[in-house]
Amino acid sequence: MSLIAVVGFQRLVGFANCVFEAFASNTFGLYRNDLNALFAAHPKLVRWFGSSVFAGCSFNMGPYTVSWPHTDSHNLAFGWCAITALGSFNPDRGGHLVLWDLGLIIRFPPGSTLLIPSALLTHSNVPISEGEVRYSIIQYSSSGLFRWLYNGLMSDKDFKANASPEQKKKCEANRKAQWGNGLKMFLLWNDISAGSLAVLK
């Protein structure tokens, strides 16, 4: 039996998706729509988990899972990454999530899920104590999948080799606007707490 067939893991995946939709509904919608379009274009592809809008998942089985300061530069720049901590460790002494750019150290007990824009923020974990165990589940979407879709189902290299000058110009304009469009996807706390959804214009 695979891990994703275990009901407990299915619930963790479902919970991460619910939190993603609640706190980043615009980006959640982009992930959902673009992933659906990708699978419609490539019907032989199999989703790693049917109801997830995240394209990928990594199971870090430790038993001493700790990460050094890094950014996930291959993920969508304005995208989100869901991190679930598991295991048996004292969360007051270790396992904290460190967001270096924000100067934050966040208590991260086993069974908790956090979402961060992992391509933007340098992050790591505080080591756990000797004899303790920590695992993690990471859900994410690679930026390459979005580029493949936006390039008309081809790589950047193939697009540059085959696109007309007009297509290249349009693509370059879209890419220059991407950062601003991505920034608009982030919701303000007032939008979230009021239950209203920000609408892209």
pLDDT digits (tens, 9 = 90+) for 103-150: 999 999 999 999 999 999 999 999 999 999 999 999 999 999 999 999
Closest among 118, 77, 73 to 98, alpha carbons compared: 118
Q: How far apart are CA 83 and CA 140, in angstroms?
A: 9
A 10 A CB-CB count for 46 gives 8
* 3-class secondary-structure state, position 120: coil
pLDDT at residue 69 greater than cutoff 50: yes
pLDDT > 70? residue 37: yes
- Is 199 inside a domain boundary? no
- What distance in Å separates the CA atoms of residue 37 and residue 32, rounded to the nearest whole number? 9
The kind and range of the H/E element at 83 are strand 81-88
Q: Output the CA angle 96-113-107, nearest 5 degrees.
A: 25
Confidence of residue 201 (pLDDT cuts 50, 70, 90): very low
Q: Which residues, including other chains, have CB under 8 Å from residue 28's CB and lie 6 or more apart?
A: 17, 20, 21, 53
Q: Which residue has the tokens 């890094």?
A: 70
Over residues 142-179, the pLDDT tens digits come to: 999 999 999 999 998 999 898 888 988 888 888 888 88
Cβ-proximal residues to 100 (8 Å cutoff; 6+ apart), any chain: 69, 121, 122, 123, 124
Residue 201 domain-assigned? Answer: no
As separate numbers, helices (DSSP H) first and strands (DSSP E) second, the chain gives: 6, 7
Q: Is residue 29 part of a domain?
A: yes
DSSP letter at 186?
S
Residue 1 pLDDT level (bands cut at 50, 70, 90): low
> Quick one: tokens of 125?
């974990």
Residues 6+ apart with CB under 8 A from 73: 119
Name the pLDDT band for 199 (thresholds 50, 70, 90): very low
Burial grade of 180 (CB within 10 A; 0-12, 13-18, 19 or more): exposed
Secondary structure letter of residue 49 according to DSSP: S
Output Rg (C-alpha) for the chain, integer angstroms.
18
Domain count, the chain: 1
Determine, yes or no, domain membership for 188: yes
pLDDT at residue 195 tops 80: no
Mean per-residue pLDDT over the chain, rounded: 90
* Lowest model confidence (mean pLDDT) among 50-64, 74-88, 89-103: 50-64
Give the pLDDT of residue 104.
Answer: 97
Given a cut of 80, whether residue 3 has pLDDT beyond it is: no
CATH number for 46: 2.60.120.10
Range of the domain at 174: 3-194
